[in-house]
Amino acid sequence: MEITQTTQQIRLVPAEADALVGLCGQLDENIKLIEKRLDVSIKYRGELFDISGEDSEHVAATKTLLANLYREALANTEITPEMIHLYLQESAIESLTSSKREKADQLVIKTRKAFIKPKGKNQQGYVKQIRKHDINFGIGPAGTGKTYLAVACAVEALEADRVERIMLVRPAVEAGEKLGFLPGDLSQKIDPYLRPLYDALYEMLGFELVDKLIEKNVIEIAPLAFMRGRTLNNAFIILDESQNTTREQMKMFLTRIGFGSTAVITGDTTQVDLPRGTTSGLAQAMHVLKDVSGISMTLFSSSDVVRHPLVQRIVEAYDKFDVEVEAEKKARTEARLTAQAAQSAGSK
């Protein structure tokens, strides 16, 4: 997707080295803060500053802000993050552009290697809810983008320093949650179950960076069975395939969420692989938490499928089949009850 950039230039005069250093801050911390708050890129050489961004109003606002802050720096005033925040508030610079930025945020997820645009009203609403709430459920059939968009939001949050790490969690039902007989270390044992999450990460960050972040535990891989007893702060946690959690596991996971963290729980209640008679933790959570403030639930349907057109038709066919099976069961039950009633009446 081609992005149009607007660029403006400002020369800060009179050029004084100490004032310029004070404006930029230690290790350019003030410049980085302005870039983050106004969604722009700032490059400078001495007193000459180049400002670029997708929104011309943001660029113009940044130019004004730099000029005002430089005047303070020339007067030997220390430029701090708190002062920048106050300037933004008092001058209403952010309010001039906030509605436009909010609209853009709803439409595009920015990552290092890709701009991801949610398709359709449901996907856009899902991303908006993830950005707004600490705990989010994405529930629906395969191919609706619920896991992919969750990973995209996690990568975006990590790159914007809103979280310190990403945690990928999945119940390993096929291995009985013990994983002991599989070869390799913990990461290698759970890898096969997390392949869709890996693929999304590679697409958004690149192979080398993903591997490096995993080595540093910035991206952490964890089977659900190993989450007990932990409290997760300043993290973006994705629980995938959550329909295969038990009720106890789901409650345990949800109570791990700490301060500064965002959790996204994805699953498909029609694809439960738990032993017969075991209630899905996702199905129960949908009922128990539906009215809890601060938790969002986005329900996807076959109309939201964004894979091959055949996938949508397959999902619809299975949905139709399930409805027919339920109707047959109901009809048989009603027939049996009618027959029993008739037999009971005849015996009298």
Residues 323 and 215 in one domain: no
Tell whether 88 is covered by a domain: yes
- 33 three-state secondary structure: helix
Residues 97 and 209 in one domain: no
- CATH number of the structural domain spanning residue 187: 3.40.50.300
Query: Domain check: are 207 and 318 in the same one?
Result: no
Assess contact for 134 and 263: CB atoms under 8 A: yes
Structural domain count of the chain? 3
Task: State how beta strands 109-110 and 115-116 pair.
Answer: antiparallel
User: Residue 264 in contact with residue 127, Cβ under 8 Å?
Assistant: no
| C-alpha–C-alpha distance, residues 347 and 192, integer Å | 61
User: Is 127 contained in some domain?
Assistant: yes
In this predicted structure, the answer to whether residue 74 has a pLDDT above a threshold of 80 is yes
Buried b (16+ CB within 10 A) or exposed e, 141-172: bbbbbbbbbbbbbbbbbbeeeebebbbbbbbb
Backbone angles phi, psi at 221, to 5 degrees: -105, 130
Is residue 184 within a helix (H) or strand (E), and if so which, with residue range? none
- Specify whether 147 is located in the same domain as 254: yes
Do 176 and 209 share a structural domain? Answer: yes
Based on the fold, state whether residues 118 and 240 are members of the same structural domain: yes
Which residues lie closer than 8 Å to 37 by C-beta, 6 or more apart? 84, 88, 94
Establish if 1 belongs to a structural domain. no
pLDDT digits (tens, 9 = 90+) for 248-264: 999 999 998 888 899 99
Give residue for tokens 């359709």.
120
How confident is the model at residue 136, as a pLDDT? Answer: 95
Asked if the structure places residue 42 within a domain, the reply is yes
Residue pair 222/168 in contact (Cβ under 8 Å)? The answer is: yes
**What pLDDT, in 10s, does the model give residues 116-147?**
888 878 888 999 999 989 999 999 988 888 99
Give the CATH number of the domain where residue 37 resides.
3.30.1370.10
Say if residue 171 is in the same domain as residue 294: yes
Q: In this structure, are 302 and 321 located in the same domain? A: no
Q: Give the pLDDT of residue 2.
A: 47
For 164-208, the pLDDT digits (tens) are 999 988 886 553 444 455 555 555 656 666 777 888 888 899 889
CA geometry: angle 64, 65, 67, nearest 5 deg: 65
Nearest-CA neighbor of 240 among 187, 186, 173, 301? 173
Residue 6's H or E segment, with its range, is: strand 6-11
Task: Please indicate, yes or no, if residue 139 is contained in any of the structural domains.
Answer: yes
Share of the chain above pLDDT 70, in %: 84
Would you say the pTM of this structure is higher than 0.75?
no
Q: Mean pLDDT lowest for which of 96-110, 111-125, 281-295, 329-343?
A: 96-110
**The two structure tokens encoding residue 69:** 């802050």
User: 220 and 133 in one domain?
Assistant: yes
Burial level of 124, CB count in 10 A (0-12/13-18/19+)?
middle
State the pLDDT at residue 309. Answer: 56
Q: Domain of residue 97: give its range.
A: 6-104
CB crowding 27-50: b at 16 or more within 10 Å, else e: eeebbebbbebbbbebebeebebe
Residues 221 and 131 in one domain: yes
At what angle are helices 93-107 and 120-132 packed, to 10 degrees?
130
Bridge partners of 342, per DSSP, are none
The Cα diameter of the chain in Å comes to 109
Q: How far, in Å, CA of 138 to CA of 106, rounded? A: 16
> What is the average pLDDT value for the chain, to the nearest integer?
83
Domain assignment present for 235: yes
Domain annotation covers residue 347: yes
For residue 197, being part of any structural domain is answered with yes
Tokens of 233: 């702060």
288 and 336, same domain (yes or no): no
**Last-in-domain residue among 104, 133, 159:** 104
CA dist 74 and 82 (Å) reads 18
Give me the residues paired with residue 232 across strands.
Answer: 257
CA atoms of 285 and 202, how far apart (whole Å):
31
* 128 and 203 inside one domain: yes
**Which of these three, 104, 139, 168, is where a domain ends?**
104
Last residue of a domain, one of 104, 132, 149: 104
Q: How far is CA 152 from CA 113, 215, 298, in A?
A: 11, 20, 16
